[in-house]
Structure 1
Amino acid sequence: MPITFDLDRRCQEILKILVNANGYVQIGDLSEQLDVSRRSIYYDINKIDDWLRSRSLSALEQKRGKGIAIHADQAAMIRKSLFERGADKQVSYTPEERRSIILCMIVIRSRNLYIEDFMETCDVSRNTIVKDLKLVADVVETNQLTLEYRIKTGYRIFGDPIRKRAMFFYYYPQVWKYFSTLIFSESQNQRIQRALSNFKKIEEELDCEYVSGVLPGLATFLSTIEYRSDVIDFSDMDRKEIISTKEYQLVRKYFPSLSDQETIYISLHLLGSRLQVVPLHVLKQDESKAYEYARSMVKSFETLSGVEFDDKEELINAIATHLKSSLYRIRYGVQWGNPMLETIKKEYGELFDLTKRAVENVEAEMGMTINDTEVAYIALHFGAFMTPLESSKHSYRILIICPNGIGAGNMLKNEVRSMVPQATEIKNISLNQYRPDHNYDVVISTVDLPGEKDFLLVHPILSEQDRVSILRKCMELEPSTQIQMDTILKIVSRYVDEAKMPDLEKDLRTAFSNGQMSQPPIRDYGLGLLHFLTPTHLQIVDEPCNRKDALRRALRPLLMNDAITRQYIESVVQAQENHHQMFIANEVVLAHSGIDNGVKQVDVAITLFRHPVPFENGMEARIILGLSAEDQIKHIHVMNDILRVFSKKDNIAALERCKDKETMYQTIHKILKGE
């Protein structure tokens, strides 16, 4: 019989993890991934088992030392049910999802809304909704708007209509998969589907793909437009530029009843939300401000991080492509929420922080502030072009599908490459480009692909369990493993009852994949600054030095620690002679060179000069940091610590006052520990 949903979202998430795990999953891994206690996981397992039994299905397999798993013959049925249309009607929402639902309901309200409406929609108590509304009011106030309650009209948001709409489009991506079925009647949902169909036609005529959730959001927004009396003023904007676009003409074509102002507004969303604005090779240096901004961001990131990108021009073009669309969003107050934002901050916190600093350095040039949503997308682009040192021979093909943006797709591709170096090809395509009759060995996707055989469903930002599942699947399907498995199964089939062969094969495959699988590699941003600051790596120089001698003295601790060769020191000196930018703050120089110029390992030293060291253009250095990096990743934690210390004038002044190396260390320790 068909499976219906009466499980909360956490239980559903556990089921999804188990379905895609291709083997056993440890309780501890589930606890860590879902950020709940082991006790809570055991409680959820009991609920899942009851749910399975009530539908005449077997309970989860549990084996001591291995973890839990789903019976192979039931996995396909459960997986299908997890993605059936309308399956989320009875889910339990997280507090963040409830607040997003409430806020979106109020913004596009088609009737008076009261606490009872929110209680019914979210299936929670009055007290819970009251608490949620207080937090929603805080969000509204942050956006310079006001949430008010009136007996006759219920809850309403007052203020700038552009800001109100921006809030809807920011929070909608978090709940779009189930929002319309929760809120609207069948006739309203039919209107949404018709609008969505028209937006799909626009997408096809533009020969592009929009980020997941954008078109459903626009369709939902348009379905309620008749209930609003907003006056949108574009008097300060370049109307001619928008009206001349193909997007505008297509909105006119498919939505002829829209007013001119609303047509412009929808066109802006389409312009600002395209997954591919133009092919990478089309952007030229003199054709777009986006290119100049992207080049400045890359230069700033390289200066701050000590990274030198191998494919710098390709990276600049990739960021410029993203900026070309995001500039519309920033300029016109059109914003889409990044549902991956918090995950990116959690999984790639060091990279996010470094990107934020690099972007802030360019904001003055751009004349605008870049919010964290945009920073997260840009961080993914940087991460996708930062490669670990080692690469090795490959042996099979992997297809990746990620409709969450170009940066997310490239980041996912780079993660998979680091985990599965034996792959001959790892290709990243859009969902529109996917065809079931491909010839790839493994398909890794962030959206479900019913009917795909060797398939893994993962999060756009890989969780620990995602990494385990990818390794397990790829080890299982690796040609050499397959040959060994086939040989073993052929031999044991002579001695094992045929009815037991499927279970034997499953256990063997699990054993093979676990046996070959090391700890799943995660993006290792290395150790922090304090780890490296041994007494030999802190120096105070009392006598005057010229810049060449100062650079050599600052790098000497790295040479003595066998982290670099003399070639590296001379390459740093030569780079300075070639006018390479080394200052990361006033009176602070970062002395470093490329990873191919004699680097053996990550290392860093700090040298304080009592007498200012003269550099070009009248600049002087009192502190020189010597840095070496064996690849583009393992020193990122160090760089973030360096920037935390030297981004404030007071910190620099405190270090310059230090009388000895111990005081230097204690000063840096207090800054980094927040004491």
Structure 2
Amino acid sequence: MTYKMIRFILANSIVHYGDLMEFSGLSRKTIAKYLDDIQKMCPRFDVKLVRKRNVGIYFEGNTNKIAAEFKISLNKVDIESREMQILEFLLKLDHPILLDDLADNFFISRNTLIRDLKKLKNKFEIEITSSTQGIYLDQKQNKNLTAKVIKKFGVATVKQKAHDAKFVRNFNIPTALTKYIDKENLEIIQKVLADFVFATHLDINEYEYESLLIHATLAIQRIENGKEIYKDQLIDQKAEIIPETLNLVQLLEKNFQCQIPENEIEYLNIHIIAIKSQEISITQGSNFSNNLTSFLKESIDDFDDLLIKNLIIHLIPAIKRCKLKIYIKNPYVEQIKVKFPVAVDQATKLVSKLQKEYKVIFNEDEICYLALHFESFIERKSKNKQEIKIAIVCSTGFGTAVLLKQQLKEHFPKISTPRLLSVQELIENGVHADIILSTIPIVTKNIKVMQVSPFLNDKDLHRLSNLINELQQSKYVDNFFEKLIHVNCISIIKNKITREDAINILSKNLAKENCVTTQMNSAALEREKLSSTSLGIIAIPHGNIREVKKPAIGILSAKQGISWGEDNVKLCFFVALDKTVANKLDDIYSYFYDLIKDKEIVKQLINSGTPEELYDRIVRK
């Protein structure tokens, strides 16, 4: 155990007693004895074992000698790299391995390993099989696993060629992945695809390009290794091989001097059909676009013509991709969920209806792409609402006023365009505004006035920001959030619980207060299946609007955490809102966004001992 602890400390740089207890399963007292033994060994390696309260346990000095003795690399490995290494290890393994042995191999605790494996299962949709002999990957069950790994860790770039100044796509893979994909083949196929795109004039985006490149390279690799694609990796209904696919097959066969089997041609055909989906009818008949337009207008409560048009353009190829079980990666899922929760919720509701109507499955990446169209609509709509109006009065000339206007547009882009006035215009006509910015003193009874210099400094911007927030609160919110919270709908949970437990507790609390029906619990759980509502340590679950009797928000604080997919949520807001508060949705979700950023108030809410204490803290915020 002494040697295992030395390797664990070296591998993790700094550890704490809790880490060592979790890793070894020993008590703090026993670990202290082992650390005493390690300290006695340190002079032999010219290092010192440091144990500092609130800092941690680590080796001080040149650790190369002790690292060499215990065969441990000192290169720091981040969590994602470690997960990748674990996946590589399992892919190479031809027999089961015990969890404890696998954890020891990577100098991590059993619990840390279990968390890493859970993330890998979710990230790559792999099946990890357990038996009495240990765990292992059955690669036949893990469709496209290699392609998923490569696409996740590959790096796509656009480079300018030196000889003719043209730009070309380039896809590089880390050295660690060369065991999965032949780098030379990859380079040849990139040239093949350049010729293919030029000959067919396909409009191919980077996600489609990467997907086709990876799968074409793996297809050649399978052929060279005499391993044809599994039948169960193909879609149920055989699609007609289109001319573009035959063009690519001819190019591949010519460059690699091989014959591509029928199954591989079918698989490449799926990807090219997805690329061409905007040109190919995805249902029988030619009225699909019209039918989809009607469906969207019936399914979405609030929209404009531009939203419907943008959704049509996006959904025609998206539905085709989903029918073929091809999904594009959205690299901004987490940012979209945090910044645009209202839009994500609207996209999720639409997806629920689309899946039933068109018999397809949309993943979270697709949902968040749709959310961007809804967010654009929300932004357009918000411009029509009453806004904070600012007037600029300047005595030193029009140029100075324009300078102030430009600074306002830069720092407060959502504020309506300021009106520019001379002092004479103000005296003769007055002004209708919420705030007057002026370079000279102005006294008025009903309008807030700020005297500033032509160059807004940080102090001016801070004062103006506070003034705008103050006016917005008094104008639009009116302590609305506070009115939605009831002490009886707040729960403090001491033990670790599941997402299902949390939603059940919250929905029951709201039902007792006659805020929701008893069906809200199952509605919220169904909503979670489409897209998780967790945002780090905070979650905002909600169900069907039909189950809301009166608008309310339930709150649950769980200091030990709630297992919520990959996240460990500690603060949960159950949002039960209906159409009566539709005009307040932006304000409510803006509150959540501000709350997520305020780490101190979040910490206070999580540490609240009673529902009354939590209520007081959230109201005081």
- TM-score w.r.t. length of structure 1: 0.39
**Structure of greater Rg:** 2
Higher relative contact order (CA 8 A, sep 6+): 1
